[in-house]
Amino acid sequence: MTNHELKARYETAVQSINDQRNRASAQSYAAGASILAGDTPRTKAWAIWAERFCISFFMLLPSIMLTIYVL
């Protein structure tokens, strides 16, 4: 295999990787945009519930760990 063929294969592989990365970025952007576009009372209620759940869980976690440590 000549250097020219190797260089062509390398450039093709790099282009393929860049295309895959761009597609993944576009999908992530579209997903984020759809979440923002769907800013309904239902999504707001879900976000509030998730926030409260996380706060209560992470406040409860140290007390559980302390209880286990003391036992």
Burial class, 2, CB count within 10 angstroms (exposed 0-12 / middle 13-18 / buried 19+): exposed
Global confidence as pTM: 0.42
Predicted confidence band at 38 (pLDDT cuts at 50, 70, 90)? Answer: low
Task: Report whether pLDDT(5) > 70.
Answer: yes
